[in-house]
Amino acid sequence: MSPARPSFADWPCSVARTVDIIGDAWTSLILREAFYGSCRFDEFQQQLGIARNTLTDRLRRLVDEGLMERRLYESEPPRHEYRLTEKGRDFFPVLAALTRWGDRWLAGAEGVPVTLHHEACDQDAHAEVVCSSCGEPMRSEDTSVRMGPGYPERLRTRPDVQRRFAQS
């Protein structure tokens, strides 16, 4: 039996907190399938080839975390479908960014496996992370991190934290 996975839910980092919810491959792939239109257990299971117990666990977690909601669609026998909530739909840019990275670095010579089509302008497109203030692309070389208002007061004065957030 493998040791329990550590929880990152209380870490002062949005990446860690997000990974705590979606930090395994199946969860992201279930969300991808939901964006593709799957909503029923058997659809997810068939599309992904995932074990039923694993799918049950991941769907329960997504419902508990508020990314999906479980709705009864048949009463005899009881059957449910899983629909993205607003919180779940708000995960789309994350999947689009993963797609963009995979398209750039992992696509073979035959080209990208899936193309995103932006219905608003009727063009094939890819995700870009841009600054919400100026609209320019955000790249690691021109972006720094700073403590936000939610950073725990008890950690702010630690030397290692001070070094991490020191202005260069």
Residues 91-148: pLDDT tens digits? Answer: 999 999 999 999 999 999 999 999 999 999 999 999 999 999 999 999 999 999 999 9
- Assess if residue 4 is contained within a domain: no
In the chain, the number of structural domains is: 2
- Assess if residue 7 is contained within a domain: no
Distance CA 97, CA 91 (A): 10
Last residue of a domain, one of 88, 109, 137: 88
- Assess if residue 118 is contained within a domain: yes
Same domain, 45 and 99: no
Q: 165 and 157 in contact (C-beta within 8 Å)?
A: no
Q: 34 and 88 in contact (C-beta within 8 Å)?
A: yes
- Assess if residue 39 is contained within a domain: yes
Alpha-helical segments (H) within 23-153: 25-36, 41-48, 52-64, 86-89, 92-105
Residues 117-130: pLDDT tens digits? Answer: 999 999 999 999 99
Same domain, 105 and 81: no
Q: Which DSSP helix (H) or strand (E) runs through 31?
A: helix 25-36
Last residue of a domain, one of 29, 60, 88: 88
Name the residue range of residue 61's domain: 14-88
Last residue of a domain, one of 88, 111, 126: 88
pTM above 0.85, yes or no: yes
Residues 44-79: pLDDT tens digits? Answer: 999 999 999 999 999 999 999 999 999 999 999 999
Distance CA 132, CA 123 (A): 22
Domain of 24: which CATH number?
1.10.10.10
- Assess if residue 28 is contained within a domain: yes
What token pair was written down for 70?
Answer: 């479980």
